[in-house]
Copies of this chain bind each other. A is one copy, B any other.
Amino acid sequence: MSLVVVGSIALDTVINPFKKAVDALGGSGTYFSYAASYFNEVRLVGVVGRDFPVKYLKEMKSRDIDLAGLEIVDGPTFRWTGEYKFDMNVRETKKLALGVFADFKPVLPAAYKKAGYLFLGNINPGLQLDVLKQMETRPALVACDTIDFYIKTDLQKLLKVFKNVDILFINDSEAREISGVSNLITAGKKIMKLGPKMVIIKKGEHGCLLMAGSWNFAAPAYPLENVFDPTGAGDSFAGGFMGYISTIRKVSEAEIKRALIFGTVTASYCVEKFSVDRFRTLTKPQIDRRFREIKKITHFDTV
């Protein structure tokens, strides 16, 4: 079934102890789409300015990312500048220039309004609600992500979004912030009471936890020695998850677990290089190989 994502498309300047990348392709919608494109066609809803490099548009099309929902308008593309120190877990936003993203009003092309799978990437919760309203039929599965900024500034609208999604992707610190509790299992349970049928708590190097009410699942991160650039890891995780699950006729517990591992895999590849660079060479067989490797490092025989 078709997969629609709404999210940011950005030009990122990323500084880390090893390198600096200027105006590299970034944004939540971008990372999601690149990761998801290994599994399904992706329909990307977003906005860029006229300064957005045509080569990136071409690259997206070559990856079966449908751009009918991508607006190109006057003004500068959203730009983000961030720095990572030696401990790659800590990111500092140095500069944020919203540009054309400031006035973004997502408009879904007619063909998108019956999408089977919808991912509301990390954008203003009001816009996430707008997109939901534009859907003509309720998708089989709606998932969303957010960041602490919107928890702090727009909680009421965010809670409305939560009421309408099946799956919430959220990182550990945000889960603690929203729930007001430190224990992540309790936090997940409290958040599920706000609406989502499933909560996936992303824990960076510690992997993720999925809570689905009657069952839970836990996956470690793929053990990587060299994390080159963590930017986009969460979006690539959601992209791998949603890309895989959107190809499945009947969403079951077993398929959700597989999707979570595929998300783990795409996130692990994402952080190996700057920007979406790793996806430029990554192949589906490499994804499948790492999927099997994760099986080896997590499965054990019962006695």
Contacts and interface: CB of A to CB of B under 8 A. Distances in A.
Nearest to A218: B220
B303 A183 contact: no
Contacts of A291: 302-303
Contacts of A257: 299-301
A53 interface: no
Contacts of A67: none
Interface string A277-303: 000000000001001100111111111
Interface string A243-261: 0000000000010011011
A227 interface: yes
Among A89, A216, A220, residue most surrounded by chain B Cβ atoms (within 10 Å): A220
A43 to B, nearest CB: 24
Given A206-B203, A220-B218, A258 B301 contact: yes
Interface in A199-226: 203, 205-207, 209, 215-220, 223-226
Contacts of A261: 300
B218 A186 contact: no
A302 B89 CA distance: 30
How many copies make up the complex? Answer: 2
A88 interface: yes
Contact of A207 (B87, B186, B220, B299): B220
Contact of A298 (B89, B185, B298, B303): B298
A224 B218 CA distance: 13
Contact of A295 (B86, B216, B302): B302
A182 interface: yes
A302 B296 CA distance: 11
Given A183-B225, A225-B189, A258-B303, A217 B297 contact: yes
A184 interface: yes
A186 B223 contact: no
Nearest to A295: B302
A216 B223 contact: yes
B258 A182 contact: no
A186 B225 contact: yes
Contacts of A207: 206, 218, 220
Contacts of A89: 182
Given A183-B225, A209-B223, 20 more contacts: A87-B182, A88-B183, A89-B182, A183-B205, A183-B224, A183-B227, A185-B225, A215-B297, A216-B223, A217-B297, A217-B300, A218-B220, A218-B223, A254-B300, A254-B301, A257-B299, A258-B300, A258-B301, A291-B302, A298-B299
30 contacts: A86-B182, A88-B183, A89-B182, A183-B205, A183-B224, A183-B225, A183-B226, A183-B227, A189-B225, A203-B206, A206-B207, A209-B220, A215-B297, A216-B223, A218-B220, A218-B297, A218-B298, A219-B298, A220-B220, A254-B301, A257-B299, A257-B300, A258-B300, A260-B300, A261-B300, A288-B303, A291-B302, A292-B302, A295-B300, A295-B302
